[in-house]
Amino acid sequence: MTELIFFINQVVIAGAVLGCIYALGAVGITLVFGILRFAHFAHSELMTSGAFFAFLLASAFAAWGIVTPIPTGFVVLPIAMVISAILALGIDKGFYAPLRKRGARPVTLLIASIGVTLMVQGLIRLFFGAGSYSFFETEAKDVFRIDLSMLGSTRPLVITEPQLLMIIVTAISVIALHLFLTRSRLGKAMRAMADNADLAQVSGINTALVVRVTWIIAGALGCMAGTMLALDVTLKPDLAFNIIIPIFAAAIVGGLGQAYGAIAGGLLIGFAESLAVFNWTMVLRPLNAILPDWLQLPATLALVPTEYKLTVAFVILVVTLLVRPTGIFKGASS
Amino acid sequence: MIQRSLTLFAGLFVLILVIGWLMGLPFTSSRLVEAAAYSLIALGLNIQWGYGGLFNFGIMGFLMLGGFAVTFISYPVNPTFWGSDGPLMLGRALLAFAAGALLVIAARKSDRIGLRGGWKTFVTVLAWFVAYCLYRSQLDPAAAYIESAAGGGWVGGLGAHPILGWLFGGVLAAVIAFIVGKIALGLRTDYLAIATIGISEIIRALIKNMDWLTRGTLTVSPIPWPTPLPQDYQASGSDQFSSLLLARGGFLLLALAVLAIALWLISRAYSGPWGRMMRAIRDNHIAAASMGKNVTARQLEIFVFGSVLMGIGGAMLVSFTQIFDPSSYQPINHTFLIWVMVIVGGAGNNWGAVFGAVLIWLVWIISEPLSKVVFDFVSMWSSNFGWGAIPDIEARSAQMRVFVLGLVITIALRFAPRGLIPEMVKREG
């Protein structure tokens, strides 16, 4: 039992948290790809800047003496999401819309998005330096230790308050997104445009509005993902830039343009990463009593050494691109 | 068009003179050597993107391969390692690797004995897994042993001439590019970009963590120079300043010679039938394929050629700075910077790529001192108003480079989408 709880602590919770962050980021990427047909690299900067907005708001709350029952990062999240959505709209208006109007190829838009990445990252570094920040400097990070001794475990189940909230908030936003895409007129228009942009336009869908809504959703969800990542680890200027490829991997594994695919892909990659670095000896140790002496388990028996954790996502990405380039859910091909 | 290029190059020359006057000759000469290496790398990307339309976002990986190659070839031999059990253990790991490779190949051919569909997939996946476990079971103890004191810490170099290291950098980059190209070139633009980034991150993770081979984050230095070092000139009686200039001048001449040879070869190839074929494939690969051109093979060829230049350029950069530090490689500095060079200079034009490389490298370098001046000025102004000075000006101006780079690329895409020295389209007949 102890081993099972250890497994849950190390793989299930860590994988779920990572998976939620990847999934929320990948939804934005996949929607932008579905509607605007280009790989939006600057999505990582939407995430990082969103996290910094939330951090600034949380600091302001702390300075005004407002104490909240749940971590302030979650309280200020809606405001930060609105700011990020406005930022995303502004970036589109300033950098991508002129290129689209000129009829530039998706490749040009991709390079432009790298320019945007560099500019936003430069600005963040300009204002915040290269150091790292924590949401939990002024408040404590609650850690729940659920005692499971009645089940025969010597270890408690450990989950922090932000992690628990993170999983709940992600579940709520995924359901909200699902309802929006399937029930509302605008959501249906978005799906139609992702399937076939030209057909959507001739059938009277307001494409400009759909593009705006896409950026709003991408910015808001990106902010949510970035803030959660910052709440789970620390906040630094290259926070999301380092994980943009796993997020792209999640979007591609699920099929570019498929919102549900992105969520599935995100969870898949999150769990795959935590499973790959998991030390199986901890769980299989009871076997040592049965196994003969020459076949004892080594001290570490992980599929991949911890320092190669991020490579897992890249390997999954490359394999997916080779075996099934359109992803699990049959995404768009550019 | 020729006149425009000449004007731009003259402007660049003036910029170099101004930098030389402001920052001093030793500083400028170092930057020029680096600019020459970056020109070579930009030419490599120009071949891939400008000629072939291939979206390689994994430049950093090839630069790292080049850097590793020159370290491995030219760093002095490590006698402790060669006298220990290390080589034997590595040999066993190599055998395990070969056995694993045979296993995978056998599994891929398993349809010969009647395995089909799901069974074949199962056998292939199983073979990969067994091969991986086999290799890890031999490599892990070997790596642990070599990294310990008894194994000498790391493999060390071969002690050969750095020029051989540059060549090996090109060869290594070519081999890896061939494999990467075989895997990824079937993908369309955006997918290819993401796949190559993923592959370059895998290369980075490997080089950074294979401490037994590359010394990882511990870094390797000093790597020998291909030309005499300033210390050698000083030993023969020159004073400090002139020996520095002589040494760097020597390296610069060598780098320029390599660049000139590459440029000459590429220009010759590109103005001939081969170049026409490449342009045809880039502009419309379907039409080119229907005219009987083997598009996949030609694209693989061009991907390998470009990567060779990147490998050599990466080797040059490392042997000039004399230190191989795998953690210093960043996608911003080593992939996106090169893309900005080619886009701003003009994709599809060799002189444009060289111009862009030198210009963007200088902009990247001078944006730090320049923004420091601006910050100092604003800080003085704001403290006069009683708002207080700007804190951490040094650190902040160092970060401004990234912003300036982003600004340059967005402006270029908006106002000169084809670059400052665009591709010249010749109409025949």
C-alpha span between B396 and A129 (Å, rounded): 6
* CATH hierarchy code of domain B2-78+154-379+389-415: 1.10.3470
pLDDT tens digit string along B207-240? 998 888 888 888 888 899 998 888 888 888 778 8
Find chain B residues with C-beta within 8 A of A332's C-beta: none
CB A39 within 8 A of CB B190: yes
Place of tokens 């910077």: B337
CB A159 within 8 A of CB A13: yes
CB B64 within 8 A of CB B329: yes
Could you tell me the CA-to-CA distances from B338 to B15, B313, B333, B356 in Å, in that order? 20, 12, 8, 9
Long-range residue pairs from A78-81, CB within 8 A, at least 24 positions apart, any chain: A79/A53, A80/A50, A80/A53, A80/A54, A80/A223, A80/A227, A81/A50, A81/A219, A81/A220, A81/A223, A81/A224
Could you tell me the two tokens for B9?
A: 């190059």
pLDDT score at B429 = 47
Could you tell me the two tokens for B173?
A: 């980059």
Cβ contacts of B282 within 8 Å, gap of 6 or more: B51, B52, B53
C-alpha span between A306 and A284 (Å, rounded): 19
- ipTM of the complex, rounded to two decimals: 0.87
Asked if B180 reaches chain A (Cβ–Cβ under 8 Å), the answer is no
Q: Which residues of chain A have pLDDT under 70?
A: 330-334
pLDDT score at A333 = 53
Asked if A300 reaches chain B (Cβ–Cβ under 8 Å), the answer is no
pLDDT score at A247 = 93
pLDDT score at A10 = 82
Could you tell me the two tokens for A55?
A: 């951090």
Could you tell me the CA-to-CA distances from A224 to A15, A61, A77, B143 in Å, in that order? 18, 18, 7, 42
CB B413 within 8 A of CB A115: yes
Amino acid at B274: W
Number of Cα atoms under 13 Å in the Cβ half of residue B23: 20
User: What's the gap in Å between the CA of A51 and the closest CA on chain B?
Assistant: 19
pLDDT score at A68 = 80
Could you tell me the two tokens for B216?
A: 């990882």
Place of tokens 């996502």: A313
DSSP3 helix / strand / coil % (chain A, rounded to 5):
70, 5, 25
pLDDT score at A66 = 82
pLDDT tens digit string along A233-259? 889 988 888 889 899 999 989 888 888
Asked if A96 reaches chain B (Cβ–Cβ under 8 Å), the answer is no
Residue A160, classed as helix, strand or coil, is strand
- How many angstroms from the chain centroid is the CA of residue B301? 18
B77 phi/psi in degrees, rounded to 5: -65, 145
> pTM of the entire structure?
0.91
Find chain A residues with C-beta within 8 A of B404's C-beta: 122
pLDDT score at A22 = 95
Of the candidates A39, A99, A108, the beta carbon closest to that of B194 is on: A39
Q: In chain B, what is the greatest distance between 2 CA atoms, to the nearest angstrom?
A: 85
A143 - beta bridge partners? A160
pLDDT score at B426 = 67
Q: How many CB pairs under 8 A join A and B?
A: 132
Virtual CA dihedral for A256, A257, A263, A264, nearest 10 degrees? -50
Asked if B129 reaches chain A (Cβ–Cβ under 8 Å), the answer is no
B220 - beta bridge partners? B324
Of the candidates B194, B402, B413, the beta carbon closest to that of A248 is on: B194
Do the Cβ atoms of A245 and B198 come within 8 Å? yes
- How many angstroms from the chain centroid is the CA of residue A113? 19
A233 phi/psi in degrees, rounded to 5: -115, -130
Q: Which residues of chain B have pLDDT under 70?
A: 426-429
DSSP strand pairing (A157-160 vs A143-146): antiparallel
Asked if B134 reaches chain A (Cβ–Cβ under 8 Å), the answer is no
Interface subset of A 131-170, CB within 8 angstroms of B: none
Pick from A118, A241, A324 the residue to mutate for testing the B interface (most B CBs within 10 Å): A118
